[in-house]
A = this chain, B = another copy of it.
Amino acid sequence: MIDRILSATAQVLAEKGYAGLSTNRVAAAAGVSIGSLYRYFADKNELIEQLRARSSADVLADLTGALTAAVTMPARDGVHHILSVLVHAVQRHRAVTTAMIAEAPLGAHGNILPEVERQLAQMTRLFVAVHAPGLDPLEADARIHLAMGVTLNACLRIALDPPPGVTEDRLISLTADLLVLGLVPDL
């Protein structure tokens, strides 16, 4: 039932946008009474939050796999792989991601994929520690913060609003180059 309602939420989000997302509409779309919806979700916020969490968890699962695989690759290839996986994960959740990023009042729900950013940042810190051990920690943090922004933003752009005439892979490659250069300039 919870799943049915969450899926209905995603569907309403896709069809009517965030502004058109009402609990009644969701209940109707789920073929469930409004009372039942409130049996499983304390309020509208929790509904949205859980949808976000579900998408986040799903993307996170992919990311974890990609990170594991990336460890054994040359740096640039690893970054490319991770980006590629992220782009596809975002595309798979296009409906939710679009609505949540492009339409939801972000302030209300924090960043869309905070867990993803956190995990990615952690892994990146490790990567930097290994490949550029001499880097000042503060400096490293600054670069990582920057890199996180670049990564997530690029993935979203590539997945949801790609420029015409270029392959997705080329865009990912460019981004990977940029990240490796930016993170470990002396490589």
Q: Contact flags (1/0) for A103-129 with B, using CB distance below 8 Å?
A: 111111000000000000000000000
Do B19 and A105 have beta carbons less than 8 Å apart? yes
Q: Contact flags (1/0) for A81-106 with B, using CB distance below 8 Å?
A: 00000000000000000110111111
Chain B nearest CB from A52 CB (Å) reads: 14
Q: Which of A4-12, A25-33, A64-72, A163-171 contacts B (4 or more CB under 8 A)?
A: A163-171
Tell me whether chain A's interface is mostly helix, strand or loop, or mixed: helix
Query: Is A174 an interface position by the 8 A CB rule?
Result: yes
Residue of B nearest to A137 (CB): B165
Residues of chain B with a CB closer than 8 A to A170's CB:
139, 142
Do A141 and B154 have beta carbons less than 8 Å apart? no
Do A171 and B146 have beta carbons less than 8 Å apart? yes
A-B contact pairs, 15 of them (CB 8 A): A17-B107, A18-B107, A19-B105, A98-B107, A99-B107, A103-B107, A104-B105, A139-B166, A142-B163, A142-B170, A145-B171, A146-B178, A178-B181, A181-B185, A182-B182
